[in-house]
Structures are given as C-alpha cells and as structure tokens.
C-alpha cells in the first residue's frame, strides 16, 4: 500500500523518514506473528527493509526492541539473519531477508543443528562482558502474570503459576545466547542455507531451557533430542542433561500458557485460550517434576 495509507494504519511508521533521511514510498503489512506485526518497507533505489514496531503487544510480552537490536549486532557475520539498521523507541529497522517459508517439515536434527549454531555463536557471553541481558525465568513469568491481572481467565491457572514459577537447577553448562522462540516458523530457506529470524525473546540463558522450548515447538522427542543436541555441540550426554531439559520443559510450559493468555488478551482470538488449556494438560504435577 502507499505510504500515507500505511501510516494511517500504524502511526509508528511516521518515524521511519527520520531514521532513513528519506520517505519510503511503499509499505506492506506482514501476515503471521503475534508479537511482531511487522512491515516490509520499500525506499526508492534501496533494498527492502523490515520494520518491527514497538507497541501494546511488545509491552504486554515484556519485549524491548533496543535489546533485540543488540542481539542482532552481536550475531552479525556469525549467523544468517537480519542485519541491524536503526532503532528508536517506536521500533526496530532491519534488513529484509530474502528467503522462502520452509513448507516441508524439517527433521528434529536439522532444527537442533540450527539451535546448536545459535548456542555456539557467542563464546562464554557471561565471562566476556556481553551487554546482552540475562534471562530471569521467574521475573518473566511474574511479569506475564501481572500483565494478565485484568483477565478473568487467568484465575484457573493460579495453582500452576504458584507451583512452576520458580525452577532451581544445578548449573552444568555455561549460559549461552538463546533464541527462546526457535521453531520452523522462525526459519527461512535462503540461497545461503537457513536464516533465523525474530530474535525478540533472545537472551543469555541456560541452554537446557532453550532446548526444552525448541523440542516443545517442534513436538520433538526429548531423549533423542537431548542426545542429538549434545552430539552437535560436542557435549558428553549425561542423565543430568536429560533430567534438566525435562524439568525445564515442565516449567517453560507455564510460560507458554501465560504467553497464550496474553495473546488472547491482546488479540481476542479464542483459539489462544484453547491452546493454553491444551498446554496445561501436558504439565506433570507430581513432585519429581517440580
């Protein structure tokens, strides 16, 4: 659509001319995505770009485009992804990745290979003074819970929230850069291979959490998934690794439930409530999973 029509739909676009020093002539809203209603931006004589706005949704999900920009800058030249262009309080501007949605199902091994590449992309980020934020699971689910305070549907998950909001695990691996939302829906096939997109949830975290989230996203098998991941990263597989991923899987499902409740609160799509209920039914509530 033309620029004036686009800015009428999304006022954050009005700030792009000041970032680009020229006015785009066309913008197209992208389908898909819940927390990132993004726009493809075209400027005369330049390659297309991607605008990732800030707004009500990013606030609800406790997201920061400035931090996302830091993540992209940290992996630039290491991983196939969007390149940072500019950021302000209205949103993040990045390069457009020319690629295709992967329609055929990727194998568990293929997705875990991408995950292991992400985890190897920064060397000991906690020890080398990385300015990327460290993920705090309890703080995140507490924020989600607080942001749902006016949603009546929240009440039925009170017990789940209280039992799974804290996860204490012995450290057996250095924290790494984690995507925290990796699935086939965030991968594109390009001429160079597979590109990874949508880094808005990324942070320095326990790799077992990222592995648990990814295996849930692709409906993978936990034991074979942990073995494959350890092999890909050159880590000795141990029962402690497997038990850690299994434990994170139970706690991370609380986060997923709250995420879908937030998605319902923002977009009012009833399907999100049904998905939250389905996830809740998968959580093991016996003591060994706590």
Q: What is the pLDDT of residues 60-87, one digit of tens each?
A: 999 999 999 999 999 999 999 999 999 9
3-class DSSP state of 9: helix
Residue-level pLDDT at 37: 81
Residue-level pLDDT at 123: 72
Which of 10-24, 32-46, 101-115, 180-194 has the least mean pLDDT?
A: 32-46
Strand blocks (E) in 65-207: 84-88, 91-95, 100-101, 176-178, 187-190, 193-196, 203-205
For 41, which DSSP code?
A: E
In this prediction, residues 178-193 reach a mean pLDDT of: 97
In this prediction, residues 153-169 reach a mean pLDDT of: 97
Residue-level pLDDT at 33: 61
Backbone angles phi, psi at 278, to 5 degrees: -65, -40
- Give the pairing of strands 84-88 and 91-95: antiparallel
3-class DSSP state of 107: coil
Fold of 101-289: Aminoglycoside 3'-phosphotransferase; Chain: A, domain 2 (3.90.1200)
Residue-level pLDDT at 184: 96
- Under CATH, to which class is 3-96 assigned? alpha beta
Domain locations along the chain: 3-96, 101-289
Listed in sequence order, the residues at least 6 apart from 68 whose beta carbon sits closer than 8 Å to its beta carbon are 52, 87, 92, 199, 200, 202
d(CA 144, CA 257): 10
Residue-level pLDDT at 290: 54
d(CA 120, CA 130): 14
Angular region, 219: left φ>0, alpha ψ -120 to 50, beta rest:
left
d(CA 143, CA 128): 29
Per-residue pLDDT tens for 97-142? 999 999 899 999 999 999 999 999 987 776 655 789 999 999 999 9
d(CA 124, CA 129): 9
Q: Please provide the average confidence, as pLDDT, over all residues in the chain.
A: 94
How far CA 134 is from CA of 87, 121, 163, in Å, comes to: 21, 16, 23
Residue-level pLDDT at 280: 98
Percent of the chain scored above 90 by pLDDT? 88
Identical fold for domains 3-96 and 101-289, yes or no, is: no
Produce one character per residue of 233-244: b if its CB has 16 or more CB atoms within 10 Å, e if not: bebeeeeebbbb
Listed in sequence order, the residues at least 6 apart from 133 whose beta carbon sits closer than 8 Å to its beta carbon are 67, 203, 204
Q: Which of 160, 159, 180, 176 is nearest to 251 (CA)?
A: 160
Q: Which of 60, 283, 1, 56 is nearest to 164 (CA)?
A: 283
The pLDDT confidence band at residue 176, using thresholds 50, 70 and 90, is very high
How far CA 84 is from CA of 76, 87, 208, 233, in Å, comes to: 8, 8, 28, 27
Residue-level pLDDT at 128: 57
- Give the pairing of strands 187-190 and 203-205: unpaired
Q: Is the dihedral of CA 264, 267, 272, 276 positive or negative?
A: negative
Residue-level pLDDT at 287: 62
For 106, which DSSP code?
A: P
d(CA 44, CA 26): 9
Listed in sequence order, the residues at least 6 apart from 60 whose beta carbon sits closer than 8 Å to its beta carbon are 35, 147, 262, 265, 266
Instruction: Determine contact, residues 91/10, Cβ cutoff 8 Å.
Output: no
The pLDDT confidence band at residue 286, using thresholds 50, 70 and 90, is low
């Amino acid at each position: 659509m033309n620029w004036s029509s686009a800015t009428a739909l999304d006022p954050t676009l009005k700030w792009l001319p000041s970032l680009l020093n020229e006015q785009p002539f066309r913008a197209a809203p992208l389908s898909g995505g819940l927390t990132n209603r993004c726009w493809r931006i075209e400027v005369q004589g330049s390659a297309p770009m991607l605008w990732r706005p800030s707004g009500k949704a990013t606030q609800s999900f406790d997201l920061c485009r400035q931090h996302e920009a830091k993540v992209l800058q940290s992996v630039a030249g290491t991983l196939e992804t969007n390149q940072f262009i500019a950021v302000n309080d209205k949103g993040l501007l990045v390069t457009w990745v020319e690629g295709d949605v992967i329609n055929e199902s990727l194998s568990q091994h293929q997705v875990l290979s991408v995950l292991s590449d992400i985890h190897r992309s920064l060397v000991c980020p906690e020890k080398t003074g990385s300015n990327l934020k460290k993920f705090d699971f309890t703080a995140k689910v507490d924020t989600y819970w607080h942001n749902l305070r006016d949603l009546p549907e929240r009440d039925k998950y009170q017990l789940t929230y209280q039992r799974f909001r804290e996860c204490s695990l012995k450290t057996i691996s250095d924290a790494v850069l984690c995507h925290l939302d990796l699935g086939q829906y965030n991968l594109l096939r390009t001429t160079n291979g597979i590109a990874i997109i949508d880094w808005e949830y990324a942070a320095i975290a326990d790799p077992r959490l990222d592995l648990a989230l990814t295996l849930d996203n692709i409906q993978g098998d936990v034991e074979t998934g942990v073995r494959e991941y350890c092999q890909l990263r050159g880590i000795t597989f141990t029962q402690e690794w497997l038990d850690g991923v299994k434990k994170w899987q139970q706690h991370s499902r609380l986060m997923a439930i709250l995420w879908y409740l937030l998605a319902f609160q923002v977009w009012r799509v009833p399907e999100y409530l049904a998905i939250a209920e389905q996830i809740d039914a998968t959580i093991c509530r016996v003591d060994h999973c706590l």
